[in-house]
Structure 1
Amino acid sequence: MAKVFMFYSRLRAEEKMIIEAAKAREIPLESIVVSDLVWPNDICQRKDVALCRCIGHRQNLALALTLEAKGVTTINPSNVMNICSDKIATSSKLSIAGIPQPDYAVAFSLEGTLKCVEKMGYPVVLKPPVGSWGRLLAKVNDKDALEAVVEHKLHLGSQHSAIYIQKYVDKNGFDIRATIIGDSPVSAIRRCSNHWITNTARGGEAQNYPLTDELKKLLVDVQRAIGGKLLAVDVFETHNGYLVNEVNGQPEFRSSQERITGVDVAGKIVEMAWTLAQKSDENDF
């Protein structure tokens, strides 16, 4: 019989919610901390389903790859983790699918960056291609600041050698964080802040946001373009419609839980994983 596992590096609020949700539904879930184990191992077998909940992308990716080699279904799959962990890969996938997003470009030198921003226009936001929690972002308003930031980035090593440039969008003090579980959008929140970075990890306040038909359609398009069974999509609301800012493949969701949205996100995650495990069993007959 297929099982559901949850692997984690630190027991955060989200992992505790998943464990409690499984208990409440009497869904067998085995939660295991990864730090004392070596991979691959005999914990999971073919047909099992694994929630990969490590904090770091590198650990999650290594975990998913070793599990997938044994036929285990991982949430999310390693290819989706790779797309979501890299803003250049994410933007490229969104572009291919024709999904609206802020203007962006990639440069490989100071000269290239200057030419790009002259054409794009100030202000712009420079982001590390790989990063989370709103860290190492820089809103750049003029040429002097751009030169300084890019010079720093180019001396920080290979991880910063590709400069990801995004046109700054005035989001009127908030953005939207929407959660997709399985193939369906389940909740959305406004993340409000007086600062231009509105991540809740940086102090943004969470408020419920309605899942309109327009927003649902956009989110379904994102899920089809990116893949995966658990996504958090960051969206800007503008006068010309919604713009997709980023897609997270290993989301924290404490701010999207019932007390804000009325939706039991942890419960829906557990139910989705258990449904996948049961389907895996049925396909063996």
Structure 2
Amino acid sequence: MKLTGWLIYNGGLSTPKFNDYAALMQRAARLRGAELTAVANDELLVSTDGVIRLKTDLKEPDFIHFADKDLLLANALEREGYRLYNRARTIELCDDKRLMHQAFAGYGVPQPLTILAPMAYPKIGYRNTSFCRQAADVLGFPLVVKEAFGSFGEQVYWVETMAELEELAERLAGVPHLYQQAVTESFGSDVRINIVGSQAVASMKRTAEGFRANVTAGGTTEPYDPTNEEIKAAIAAARAVGADMAGVDLFTGTEQPLVCEINSNPHVRSIIECTGVPVHHMMVEKMLQGRVLS
């Protein structure tokens, strides 16, 4: 029986990078005798009576590769009984860095010391930012400020003084964010380990001139042989958020592995070209096996 899947993406992000990702996944599916149809999230409407399909010729999916962050749609599809890769809760935990770090803490995943910024209402902000001094006393300088929602290493700030921290806190008032111990040993470099199922399938080191090592931000890559401790940390991070497949970023140069973050929808082109490992084929195989076994 030929299995059919949907690859759900954001209708506003039909960029060359995403189109390349979709084509990679679709070719991998075809090689396994499956069909993977790209479906934009705005081609599906969530209603109180279920998910409305704007395209009437869409085949019912046996599985869904949810490559977006539309949580309301993901939850609605799960309520209708569809198996999502990754699940809605996983996407939610990975999308909000505050929830992600709390999930890591609950699972014992090694990570830098992190303090969540107090909630502030948009256009109201903070009455004062005295909490910044306490955060700086705990974390020390330099420290890193991260907006809770961001991708490709953006919305991340390197802070070296109290004046910078207070100015940034005031500017981000109403924007969910956090404060984190800076891992100076890993300035400008990190390790990406791709997890499929419970296995580390590919790894590369990324290096850049600035403190963010993302390839999108101009970083270079080289194959990397992770230690057993790094592999364990990456797998633990994936399990903490319930990920079927993910990209886990670790800091380098530290005495023990420290997880920076986990991505539930990592683009895989760079790690495929860097390592030669067909990560996309492994991801498709995971989804097909899960559908057969469910």
TM-score (norm 1): 0.88
Match of 2:260 in 1: 245
Q: Distance in 2 between matches of 1:8 and 1:138?
A: 28
Q: Distance in 2 between matches of 1:31 and 1:266?
A: 15
Please, which moves more after superposition, 119-128 or 207-216? 207-216
Q: Distance in 2 between matches of 1:96 and 1:37?
A: 35
Change beyond 3 A, Cα 1:87–1:44:
farther
Match of 1:23 in 2: 30
Residues 52 and 63 of structure 1 are in contact (CA less than 8 Å); yes or no, is this contact kept in structure 2?
no
Change beyond 3 A, Cα 1:24–1:140:
same
Q: Distance in 1 between matches of 2:224 and 2:85?
A: 26
Amino acid at match of 1:124: L
Is residue 51 of structure 1 aligned with residue 41 of structure 2?
A: no
Residues 6 and 52 of structure 1 are in contact (CA less than 8 Å); yes or no, is this contact kept in structure 2?
yes
Percent of matched pairs sharing the same residue: 26
Change beyond 3 A, Cα 1:172–1:149:
closer
Counterpart of 2:286 (choices 259, 272, 284) is 272
Match of 2:183 in 1: 169
Counterpart of 2:84 (choices 74, 77, 82) is 74
Amino acid at match of 2:106: I
User: CA RMSD, aligned part only?
Assistant: 1.9
**Stretches of 4+ aligned residues off by more than 6 angstroms:** none
Where 2:240 maps in the other structure, the secondary structure is helix
Residues 177 and 190 of structure 1 are in contact (CA less than 8 Å); yes or no, is this contact kept in structure 2?
yes
* 1:87-236 alignment, distance < 5 Å: 87-108=97-118, 110-154=129-173, 157=174, 160=175, 162-170=176-184, 171-236=186-251
Structure 1 gaps of 5+ residues are: 281-285
Residues 193 and 205 of structure 1 are in contact (CA less than 8 Å); yes or no, is this contact kept in structure 2?
yes
Structure 2 gaps of 5+ residues are: 119-125
Match of 2:5 in 1: 4
Match of 2:73 in 1: 63
Residues 187 and 212 of structure 2 are in contact (CA less than 8 Å); yes or no, is this contact kept in structure 1?
no
Residues 187 and 210 of structure 2 are in contact (CA less than 8 Å); yes or no, is this contact kept in structure 1?
no
Residues 15 and 53 of structure 1 are in contact (CA less than 8 Å); yes or no, is this contact kept in structure 2?
no
Cα distance, 1:103 vs structure 2: 1.1
Cα distance, 1:211 vs structure 2: 3.3
Amino acid at match of 1:36: E
Cα distance, 1:238 vs structure 2: 2.7
Is residue 84 of structure 1 aligned with residue 94 of structure 2?
A: yes
Cα distance, 1:44 vs structure 2: 6.7
Where 1:239 maps in the other structure, the secondary structure is coil
TM-score (norm 2): 0.85
Change beyond 3 A, Cα 1:117–1:219:
same
Where 2:30 maps in the other structure, the secondary structure is helix
Q: Deviations over 1:18-76 (max 9, x none)?
A: 0111222322323333333434036575x82100123xx2x2x2331121011000011
Counterpart of 1:14 (choices 16, 21, 24) is 21
Residues 113 and 163 of structure 1 are in contact (CA less than 8 Å); yes or no, is this contact kept in structure 2?
no
| Relative contact order, higher structure (CA 8 A, sep 6+) | 1
Please, which moves more after superposition, 9-18 or 138-147? 9-18
Cα distance, 1:4 vs structure 2: 2.1
Residues 26 and 35 of structure 2 are in contact (CA less than 8 Å); yes or no, is this contact kept in structure 1?
no
Q: Deviations over 1:144-186 (max 9, x none)?
A: 11121111111xx3xx1x4400011120531011111122111
Where 1:238 maps in the other structure, the secondary structure is coil
